[in-house]
Structure 1
Amino acid sequence: MSDIDRSPKAPDLYVHYCEHQGCDNWGSWGKSPSAAVATRWWCFEHFPHKSFDRNRR
């Protein structure tokens, strides 16, 4: 085996899309209240800042 072997294909990047209905932007703002709850993703425009902070307390 050669030390210059490379993988035949680069790994795929998983892109999360915004969960807001009708929005197809990239969901770069992921948040989960705990490790037991699946992460939900939103774009910056639709991230529920206030409602999420209220649920944390």
Structure 2
Amino acid sequence: MLSDVNETTASHGSPGTLRRPPRIHRAWFVAIVTFVAIIGAAAFASLPGLLIEPLHEEFAW
């Protein structure tokens, strides 16, 4: 039973050798979603202005 404990601790190595890859902080996800929302809102707000001229020419308003 003592050998089982020694084998499991020896197989894991030292804590400094096993590292997880760095994770992206959740604030970056919030920043990305905010950026996409702002760009989407700007595109949606400018869409009628882009369509007025073609509609004006097409229907002779």
| Structure-1-length-normalised TM-score | 0.25
Q: Which has the larger radius of gyration?
A: 2
| Structure-2-length-normalised TM-score | 0.24
Which structure shows the bigger proportion of residues in helix conformation? 2
